[in-house]
Amino acid sequence: MERHFTLEYWTDEGWYVGRLKEVPGVFSQGETLEGLEDNIKEAYHLMMTDEEALPPYEVRQKELEIEM
């Protein structure tokens, strides 16, 4: 199953920092935008192993595809 989320991101002291707009509490960072995307996907998967379902939850935006 594939879900689509919006990655909101910004730069902070040379790092890309971001969160998933639709999933509160999923934040991460990376040295590159691609690194941030990988890390945010991992953070999402880690959170979903602890939570069955999260309520929907608003910088620049980018749509991500996460395969389950």
CATH number of 2-61: 3.30.160.250
Cα atoms in the Cβ-side hemisphere of radius 13 Å centred on 11? 6
- pLDDT at residue 47, rounded to an integer: 85
- pLDDT at residue 64, rounded to an integer: 81
User: Is the per-residue pLDDT at 57 higher than 50?
Assistant: no
Q: Is 9 exposed, middle or buried (0-12, 13-18, 19+ CB in 10 A)?
A: buried
- In this prediction, residues 27-46 reach a mean pLDDT of 95
Q: What is the mean pLDDT of the chain?
A: 84
Q: How confident is the model at residue 58 (pLDDT cuts 50, 70, 90)?
A: very low
Inter-residue contact 19 to 8 (CB < 8 Å): yes
Distance CA 17, CA 26 (A): 11
Which residue ranges make up each domain of the chain? 2-61
Distance CA 59, CA 49 (A): 28
